[in-house]
Amino acid sequence: MEAAIISFAIFSKKVFPACFLADFKSHFIAKFIDLYNLDNHVKKINESIYLVDLLNSLESFALYFVSKVASEEVGFVTAGKTYCELVEELLPLTIDEFHDGYYKNTSILFITWNNRLTKEKLEIQKAELERKLANAPATRVIKPIGTE
């Protein structure tokens, strides 16, 4: 439990302020797309202290769960959706680093939690479809003359 508290302290002190202070989803991504040449974005973005600090904070957060020091199930309930949304927003800027083996814990935790979120959404959709199916009117079979 102590490890989970430390992990959430990292998330709340480093990750939350970095992402949501200036409307992260629109401002931060747009800033990097505008400022950097997209053909050479990986090299230039790696030089960005802000982005590297954010990625390192996400990696530190993920490390506790991937290394099994903290309960990833507890972490998922508390921060899973926010964490996955954030990492997903960063993917276009960092996919090369993930592919090259950097931020392995971030990648592992994202895949684990994102799959769980997807499954939860699909379970809700399945339940809704089953409810609609159960409430659907019975189908009528029209038999040809002479077959009854």
What's the average model confidence in pLDDT over 43-52?
63
What's the average model confidence in pLDDT over 71-87?
92
Mean pLDDT over the full length of the chain: 77
Question: Angle at which helices 104-135 and 72-99 pack, to 10 degrees?
Answer: 120
What's the average model confidence in pLDDT over 46-75?
85
Listed residue (25, 137, 35, 140) closest to 85, CA to CA: 25
Say if residue 25's pLDDT is above 50: no
pTM: 0.64
Residue spans per domain, the chain: 2-135
In sequence order, the 6+-apart residues with CB closer than 8 A to the CB of 113 are 72, 76, 80, 83, 84
pLDDT score at 93:
74
- Over its C-alpha atoms, the chain yields an Rg (Å, rounded) of 22
Looking at mean pLDDT, say which of 38-47, 71-80, 109-118, 134-143 comes out highest: 109-118
**Rounded Cα distance, 98 and 105, in Å:** 10
